[in-house]
Structure 1
Amino acid sequence: MEKDSGKAFDLYLFKRVMAFTKPYRGTFYGTALAAILLTVFSVLTPMILKEIIDQAIPRRDGDLLFELSAWMVAVLVGQVVCQLLFTYYANWLGESVIKDMRITLFHKMIGFRMAYFSRSSLGVLVTRSVADLQRIGEIFSQGFFMIVADLLKMLAASAIMIWMNWKLAVLVFAILPLILYATRIFQRAMKVAFTEVRAQVSNLNSFVQERLTGMKIVQLFTREEIEAEKFRKINEKHQNAWLKTVWYNSFFFPIAEIVTSLAIGLVVWYGGLQNIVDAGADIAGTLFAFILLIEMLFRPLRQLADKFNTLQMGMVAAGRVFKILDTESRIEDTGTLEVSHMEGAIEFRDVRFGYEADEEVLHGISFAVKPGQKVAIVGSTGAGKSTIINLLNRFYDIHSGTILLDGKDIREYTLASLRNNIAVVLQDVFLFADTIANNIALKDPGVSIDDIEAAARQIGVHDFISSLPGGYQYNVKERGTMLSSGQRQLIAFLRAYMRNPSILVLDEATSSIDTYSEQLIQKASEKVTEGRTSIIIAHRLATVKKADTILVLDKGHIVETGTHQALLDKKGYYSKLYEAQFMVEEVA
């Protein structure tokens, strides 16, 4: 359940974030100890300075001066060491928590069912995985520990002031509300300003990403000048939003310095006045100590607003991340059957399914495929062809009916076992920004380059790959943009073949390739489909003709079943589809 993350500080979310520090409890407590020691060393400095001025110098005691100076050096070294350890390990802890949370988040997301990704913005998921988690890390490096350390310093400084001279302390505390009030106003103004900055950053990122992605359209329709002008205006808003934060900082920090100087001036004035009135009052050391203690009290207070803002933004980011972690959108993997090979018998029994609860896509589909049989599924766009494949792989669960593989309900198989036995070649091939070899093997350590080359030779694509610069080590770049559509199909075909699947699915895998690539695909198809159950969703005539059985779909119903010639002779739906879509191709 998602809690209210709009609070200034959400304790529920904070506890959930802190739960990720459990493996690093030693570091957590060590960082807290460094903060405490840092506070102790900080307040010791003005106390030692007071003793030097009040004791060593008036007495002209060189030994005492040397001893106190040595202690001063030791304290300063200890302060530097504690500051180093505190800064490093606070950041180390934050990065470690980010690492663990990012792994947990990614593991959660890759287990989501396809319906989740259909309804979610991929850009938002990327932002949650990168930018929002970085904000959470800042809770440790710039938020929580820094606030705790500053509060400890302020409390210690206040206590030492009261102990040294309560009258001077009261004078300092009387000035304190001024800087507290200024800090509060600054915090509110900066919160509004940063909200505007984040909105403008989001607009800027979205605009640039969209225009770069659609650059071909921008140039085809000669919109360069128009888009450049839009970008100028958006960039100007972004600049103004940042300048507003600079403006607030320009006001606040001089005011904070003036208030600090006012406090120091009043202390020096009142202390000097005490010394004049009471000639026996030796207050010089106390005044020097108070000047350091005032800085120790007021400086953290000036920065506290920013640190609380960092903490709050981290909590907001945590709320977004935990919302995803709390999402339940997984295919239930309750099956126990694990098989390395299937015979390949497929049966759909009265299967009903819809991507939306009230919009059914498949209306009681029933058919059977024998092991080793080649079945083609044809139909107009939206008939439900690809949906059948999605259900076979359990990317979605059916609403009713049964899907059987080798006579067993597919839910009885583990998801890994089920999907390892089914290879799919899609029309829209996705390739990673990596080498051809890694795209084929998907970095499976059990697959060697020799295995890849042998498989490529078997299906007739080795020569094509070898002709590329670097051959199997050729980097295809993001989404395989260095290859043509047909070449990407060939790589995808080889990737599927390498898995040695029991069932092969070609989802319109030859619908957008050139003639040469199609010939290679057809040659590979004969090799790959040999002895395997094959389901072919295709528009190409040659592939459909060779199918043992053709299932004709229309609006989620199987309207005809038979061989190519039998369906043509029937003069029904398939015959009309053939005449509309395939006749031109056959003549050509």
Structure 2
Amino acid sequence: MENNSSSEQRRVLIRLLAYTKPHVKTIVLAFTLLLIATVGDILGPILGSIFIDDYLRPRNIVFEPLLILGATYMGIQIINVLVSYFQLLKFQEIALKIIQAMRVDVFAKVQSLGLRYFDKTPAGSIVSRVTNDTEAIKEMFVTVLVTFIQSGFLMGGILIAMFVLNVKLALFCLLILPVLYFIIRSYRRLSSKFYHDMRERLSQLNAKLSESIQGMGVIQVFRQEKRLRKEFEDINEKHFFAGMKNIRVDGLLLRPAIDLVYIGALILVLSFFGITSFDSPVEIGVLYAFINYLDRFFEPVNNLMARLSLYQQAIVAASRVFTLLDEEELAPQQALTGGKITNGQIEFKNVSFSYDGKRDVLKNISFVARPGETVALVGHTGSGKSSIINLMMRFYEFERGEILIDGKSIRSYPQDELRAKIGLVLQDPFLFYGTIKENIRLHNGEITEEEIVEAAEFVQAHHFIEKLDNGFEHQVVERGSTLSSGQRQLIAFARTIAANPKVLVLDEATANIDTETEEAIQIALARMREGRTTIAIAHRLSTIQDANLILVLHHGEIVERGTHQELLAKKGLYHKMYLLQNGVTEKLEDVVG
């Protein structure tokens, strides 16, 4: 949990205010308008005091001076309304621009994070920081800071006016400032702790909701609705209790405490005038002005206290956002400039890797995949197949050994070059919301309409695409859920072919495709692999029998290597896997052994 100390809150506020730098000119204009509006608020009671003491009390009713006085008062009020509108408009504009920039920064940061971060952080928690937390920060810039600044100007101006009217009484009124400071400080200290708890519970609610939506099919199949509802209720109840604690603090230290101080100040002013009336006459106008100023002084105090809860929420939310922005678990860094991948030869040299820094999931992996060749990775679940792909795609940083492409370290290539020259097809392809054409092109302006159609024809996806409503303009819903798994995979293949990569990475690419579709895919794959380096993960050994090299992995090590026929002849782990998959029962004791 983030630090609740005053120094930490101050650091967060300073960092938030740094977002105002691009808007300095607009802020100066808004402050000027705010100052004018504040002066207008302060002049009103002074004009009222002049009217009472100089004209009303002595019954000095002179038309022309009174007309000027009244016109001045009305003019100030009209100007005040106009100036207040424009200053509020400018502050709101600045606030929205700041939050706009902050949300882009947060989203960009999420895009730059390494997969290690997403492995340990629930998706709902990340969404909460990008949406809920930035929304809380927006409220601070939109309403809180404006109120704080305006209240500060108004309170300062009122105190100055009080000293102009009566120095001794103004000094007495200063006694209320330490009391107000104590209330504000106490509220900040107590509410900060509760808001941290509330934000964390809200993040957990989002995470639980996101998990439930993504796994709804599994939840319903295994009848887990009651369990998930109970877990959601538990988190929601903790969020409720944290909210109630904060409400109790709000109820005690916000309006009631301030009203009590106001009553005490009012008694002080009336007592002062009552006591001084024994020795000298009381200036009714000054008394009116002081009571008016006292009322006006506590109005911004009440506004400030009412916004203080929003301020605390914003500071807590900003602390969580900055924690995300400061996250150091970034994606592996590639060179900004470097060579081009021309042939696509892949070489692993004694590569070892661990996700947690304790247990190696890959141990001294070495192999070479040449252009035009297919290297297949096989092995039981957890043997390290996907980890090899993750390292080659630069999703994770490896610690020991070296990965070379065309004889150069993979670290020496710019990220754009790696992503452009390595095509990845996953077992469960991801489709974006949009048209089929957009999913194949992926907003790559270099891919023409003709190339999109050619890519679809190449993988024989055009047959089903042309039967859909609007063909290539058919709208794909989120994750392509209205298409079959085979259709989604064909679109993913077309997407890869359209990009024309030098290296082809297939992660169980045919696992979710029916037999009839797989035959067409295998023909397309044979054509795709021509002239390209292909790395293929396969569970079904029948799909990789024509591979130039098959690597058999076991507990992160390559225990066998060779062609399909060579590995069968060795009668090792590959041979056992082949017998099991093909239902061969002879020599079953060897398989079990």
Q: Which category of TM-score, normalised to the shorter sequence, fits these structures? A: 0.7 to 0.9
SS in 2 for 1:365: strand
Q: Does 1:43 align with 2:45?
A: no
Query: Could you tell which deviates more after superposition, 227-236 or 468-477?
Result: 227-236
1:326: which partner in 2? 326
Please tell me whether the aligned partners of residues 375 and 536 of structure 1 are also in contact (alpha carbons under 8 angstroms): yes
Percent identical across equivalent pairs? 37
Distance 1:381 1:88, change over 3 A: same
Please tell me whether the aligned partners of residues 143 and 308 of structure 1 are also in contact (alpha carbons under 8 angstroms): yes
- Aligned-partner Cα distance in 2 for 1:205–1:368: 45
Query: Could you tell which deviates more after superposition, 245-254 or 416-425?
Result: 245-254
1:156: which partner in 2? 157
TM-score (norm 1): 0.87
1:316: which partner in 2? 316
Please tell me whether the aligned partners of residues 344 and 502 of structure 1 are also in contact (alpha carbons under 8 angstroms): yes
SS in 1 for 2:475: coil
Please tell me whether the aligned partners of residues 147 and 303 of structure 2 are also in contact (alpha carbons under 8 angstroms): no
Please tell me whether the aligned partners of residues 123 and 210 of structure 2 are also in contact (alpha carbons under 8 angstroms): no
Q: When the two structures are aligned, how many residues end up with a matched partner?
A: 580
Distance 1:248 1:568, change over 3 A: closer
Which deviations, in whole Å up to 9, do the C-alpha atoms of 1:299-329 show, x marking residues without a partner?
2223433434433433333333333333333
Pairing of 1:457-476 with structure 2 (within 5 A):
457-476=457-476
Please tell me whether the aligned partners of residues 549 and 561 of structure 1 are also in contact (alpha carbons under 8 angstroms): yes
1:14: which partner in 2? 13
- Aligned-partner Cα distance in 1 for 2:109–2:223: 43
Distance 1:249 1:114, change over 3 A: closer
SS in 2 for 1:10: helix
Please tell me whether the aligned partners of residues 125 and 206 of structure 2 are also in contact (alpha carbons under 8 angstroms): no
Distance 1:80 1:128, change over 3 A: same
1:289: which partner in 2? 289
Please tell me whether the aligned partners of residues 179 and 302 of structure 1 are also in contact (alpha carbons under 8 angstroms): no
SS in 2 for 1:568: helix
Which deviations, in whole Å up to 9, do the C-alpha atoms of 1:446-501 show, x marking residues without a partner?
33444322321222101212323333333332222222322221221111111101
Q: CA deviation at 1:203?
A: 5.3
SS in 2 for 1:357: coil
Please tell me whether the aligned partners of residues 541 and 582 of structure 1 are also in contact (alpha carbons under 8 angstroms): no
- Aligned-partner Cα distance in 1 for 2:144–2:250: 19
Distance 1:527 1:63, change over 3 A: farther
2:553: which partner in 1? 553
Which deviations, in whole Å up to 9, do the C-alpha atoms of 1:532-581 show, x marking residues without a partner?
22121112344212222222222222222222223223322211111112
Instruction: Give, as a single letter, the amino acid of the residue that structure 2 aligns with 1:556.
Output: G
Distance 1:105 1:174, change over 3 A: closer
Query: Could you tell which deviates more after superposition, 183-192 or 493-502?
Result: 183-192
SS in 1 for 2:337: coil
Pairing of 1:128-207 with structure 2 (within 5 A):
128-169=129-170, 172-173=173-174, 194=195, 197-198=198-199, 201-202=202-203, 204-207=205-208
Q: Does 1:424 align with 2:421?
A: no
Q: CA deviation at 1:46?
A: 1.0
Unpaired stretches in structure 2, ≥5 consecutive residues: 585-593
Q: CA deviation at 1:272?
A: 7.0
- Aligned-partner Cα distance in 2 for 1:225–1:458: 48
SS in 2 for 1:350: strand
- Aligned-partner Cα distance in 1 for 2:366–2:261: 82
Q: CA deviation at 1:502?
A: 0.7
1:116: which partner in 2? 117
RMSD between aligned residues: 3.3
The structure 2 residue matched to 1:260, chosen from 259, 262, 265, is: 262
2:54: which partner in 1? 55
1:82: which partner in 2? 83
Please tell me whether the aligned partners of residues 48 and 285 of structure 2 are also in contact (alpha carbons under 8 angstroms): yes
Q: CA deviation at 1:421?
A: 0.5
Instruction: Give, as a single letter, the amino acid of the residue that structure 2 aligns with 1:21.
Output: T
SS in 2 for 1:59: coil
Please tell me whether the aligned partners of residues 122 and 207 of structure 2 are also in contact (alpha carbons under 8 angstroms): no
Q: CA deviation at 1:60?
A: 1.2
- Aligned-partner Cα distance in 2 for 1:246–1:388: 53
Q: CA deviation at 1:288?
A: 2.8
2:404: which partner in 1? 404
Please tell me whether the aligned partners of residues 125 and 204 of structure 2 are also in contact (alpha carbons under 8 angstroms): no
Query: Could you tell which deviates more after superposition, 366-375 or 55-64?
Result: 55-64
Instruction: Give, as a single letter, the amino acid of the residue that structure 2 aligns with 1:459.
Output: V
- Aligned-partner Cα distance in 1 for 2:259–2:583: 85
Query: Could you tell which deviates more after superposition, 231-240 or 72-81?
Result: 231-240
- Aligned-partner Cα distance in 1 for 2:534–2:198: 54
Query: Could you tell which deviates more after superposition, 174-183 or 75-84?
Result: 174-183
Unpaired stretches in structure 1, ≥5 consecutive residues: none
Distance 1:549 1:207, change over 3 A: closer
Query: Could you tell which deviates more after superposition, 358-367 or 499-508?
Result: 358-367
- Aligned-partner Cα distance in 1 for 2:391–2:235: 45
- Aligned-partner Cα distance in 2 for 1:409–1:310: 51
Query: Could you tell which deviates more after superposition, 247-256 or 439-448?
Result: 247-256
- Aligned-partner Cα distance in 1 for 2:456–2:507: 21
Distance 1:335 1:88, change over 3 A: closer
SS in 1 for 2:128: helix
- Aligned-partner Cα distance in 2 for 1:248–1:396: 46
- Aligned-partner Cα distance in 1 for 2:417–2:362: 25
Query: Could you tell which deviates more after superposition, 161-170 or 488-497?
Result: 161-170
TM-score (norm 2): 0.87
Instruction: Give, as a single letter, the amino acid of the residue that structure 2 aligns with 1:430.
Output: F
Distance 1:80 1:450, change over 3 A: farther
2:510: which partner in 1? 510
Pairing of 1:495-574 with structure 2 (within 5 A):
495-574=495-574
Q: CA deviation at 1:43?
A: 0.6
- Aligned-partner Cα distance in 1 for 2:230–2:113: 41
Please tell me whether the aligned partners of residues 347 and 366 of structure 1 are also in contact (alpha carbons under 8 angstroms): yes
Query: Could you tell which deviates more after superposition, 570-579 or 73-82?
Result: 73-82
- Aligned-partner Cα distance in 2 for 1:338–1:194: 51
- Aligned-partner Cα distance in 1 for 2:551–2:238: 57
1:437: which partner in 2? 437
Distance 1:59 1:226, change over 3 A: same
Pairing of 1:329-408 with structure 2 (within 5 A):
329-334=330-335, 336-339=337-340, 342-408=342-408
Distance 1:201 1:422, change over 3 A: closer
